[in-house]
Amino acid sequence: MLGNNLKINNQPEIEAMFLKHYQEWCLLSYSYIENMSEVEDMVQDVFVKILRRKPKNEILDLKNYISTAVKNNSLKRIKRNRKLEKLENSNVISSPSYEEYLIETETKIKVQKAMEVLPEQSKKVFQLCVLDGEKYQNAADSLGISINTVKFHLKKSFKILRLALRNTYA
């Protein structure tokens, strides 16, 4: 049986520890990652790092040390995978095709033309609340009208725009 204190350059004991507890560490990592091939690679990477590490100091409890390293590497891998997913999703969103760009531009032009039909006060309320994202109270205060009047103008604007754009999104 292996002792608690182990010099880092004691390769035969590290290999024996690897063989004895490999499945246990794979299951530990699997509880985080849930992809067995990725888990096996990650556990093996932990051992490679330990074997390549320069003997600076002793590891007091190798089994616990490796378990913690496996857990931490699993969590790091989850974090990295999430970042990669976000990057992939943002690349898909931020790089529309030329066709999508043309459709979006054409749609914006149609909405702008439809907004020209709106009465002046309704257009101001729509601009503030919908396009600029202002809260009803802020729009009411800046225009000197009540919140109910803001709601009325928004309702009126949406009704007019729905009629003007009914064939746009069919």
Q: What is the CATH number for 70?
A: 1.10.1740
Strand partners, 6: 59
Out of 67-81, 89-103, 120-134, 141-155, which region has the weakest mean confidence (pLDDT)? 89-103
Q: Are residues 51 and 74 in the same domain?
A: yes
Q: Report yes or no on 132 lying in a domain.
A: yes
In the prediction, which pLDDT does 6 show? Answer: 47
Q: Are residues 36 and 80 in the same domain?
A: yes
> Buried (b) or exposed (e) across 90-99, using 16+ Cβ within 10 A?
eeeeeeeeee
Give per-residue pLDDT as tens, 97-125.
788 888 888 888 888 888 888 999 999 99
Contact 127, 137 (CB under 8 A): no
For residue 151, pLDDT beyond 90: yes
Out of 7-11, 18-22, 37-41, 56-60, which region has the weakest mean confidence (pLDDT)? 7-11
Give per-residue pLDDT as tens, 89-101.
765 555 567 888 8
The single residue listed with the structure tokens 């069919």 is 170
Structure tokens at 100: 């999508």
d(CA 18, CA 67): 11
Element (H, E) at 39: helix 36-52
Structure tokens at 86: 């976000």
Q: Detail the DSSP E strand segments found in the chain.
A: none
In the prediction, which pLDDT does 115 show? Answer: 86
Last residue of a domain, one of 94, 123, 143: 94
